[in-house]
Amino acid sequence: MSVVVVGSLNMDLVARAARLPGPGETVLGDDFATIPGGKGANQAVAAARLGARVAMIGAVGTDDLGDALLDVLASEGIDASGVARVADRPSGVALIAVDEAGENQIVVAAGANATVTPEHVRAHEAHIAGAAVVLVQLEIPLPAVQAALEVARASGVRTVLDPAPAQPLPDSLLQLVDIAKPNESEAELLTGVATHDADGAHEAAAALADRTGGIVVVTRGAQGACWAGPDGRGDVGTYAVTAVDATAAGDAFSGALAAALAEGAELPEALELASAAGALATTVAGASASLPRRAAVEELRAGRAR
């Protein structure tokens, strides 16, 4: 049941307002919070709360924010022996604006995350080789992401890529991915296929699956998700919830997907669990605070997917 997450750790600085600002515009907010986050750490916590044994590989500064981020991993039972302390860079931060409908805008300052190298990843090869699933994102340098995927592939470990933040990716990296999980905008960037409706999302999933040779799951927010791969294609329902903040919904989905796959779940079962986790994450403000535990996910699954 082990998952290794190779990725970012950030402190999220979250401001809430009635609406999000446009370019060059200032809006008045009504709340502020400092919340541990980062796509890598969020996904590690999400997987741990779903019952996986989790190890994290990444980097933080030697500042107070780094101390706080490591404390979060420890409190969740996550092995942080692969997280370096970097003296000459601050810990990463994310500046997040959230509107009253739960939509968000995010700017990430990488800080120590930018120091993660292929050498650092390979120094923890034993963690990766002993895992059931390796989960990566794109908030650390691409060479480090590729190194993690290469080590996992050489060790016969299943790989999951959350290609966020969106950026073009070489085929040499994509072909190391067993399951890619872009959202609609990321899928559109990677394929050039418009994803404004279900047909487009399916077409983009199939086009990206042709590049990876594996499975591609395109998440579509309140519309659920769709997937494509060598064995066909399908859709994933979502759940009726009252959204408050969508900040970590994608991370909840990815972490839950990795946890379910590490348990040995087949893809449809793993996607159903991930969909429920992602939906629940929108009902609570903040990143790590919103990541649901297994009991809550199973309770929601007992209801009806729409």
The residues carrying an active-site annotation are 251
The Cα angle at residue 234 between residues 231 and 235, in degrees rounded to 5: 160
Q: In this structure, how many other beta carbons lie within 10 angstroms of the beta carbon of residue 213?
A: 14
Query: What is the DSSP secondary structure assignment for residue 195, as one 8-state letter?
Result: -
Would you call 20 helix, strand, or coil by DSSP? coil
Burial of 240 (0-12, 13-18, 19+ CB in 10 A): exposed
Contact 148, 128 (CB under 8 A): yes
- Non-local CB neighbours of 263 within 8 Å, separated by 6+ positions: 1, 51, 52
| H runs (alpha helix) in the chain | 39-49, 64-75, 118-122, 125-129, 142-154, 171-174, 184-191, 198-212, 249-263, 267-281, 294-301
Contact 201, 226 (CB under 8 A): yes
Q: What are the beta bridge partners of residue 130?
A: none
Q: In Å, what is the CA distance from 168 to each residue of 113, 115, 186, 231, 286? A: 19, 21, 9, 26, 28
Whole-number Å distance between alpha carbons of 98 and 107: 12
Whole-number Å distance between alpha carbons of 72 and 34: 13
Q: In this structure, how many other beta carbons lie within 10 angstroms of the beta carbon of residue 298?
A: 13
**CA torsion angle 91 166 46 209 (round to 10):** -150
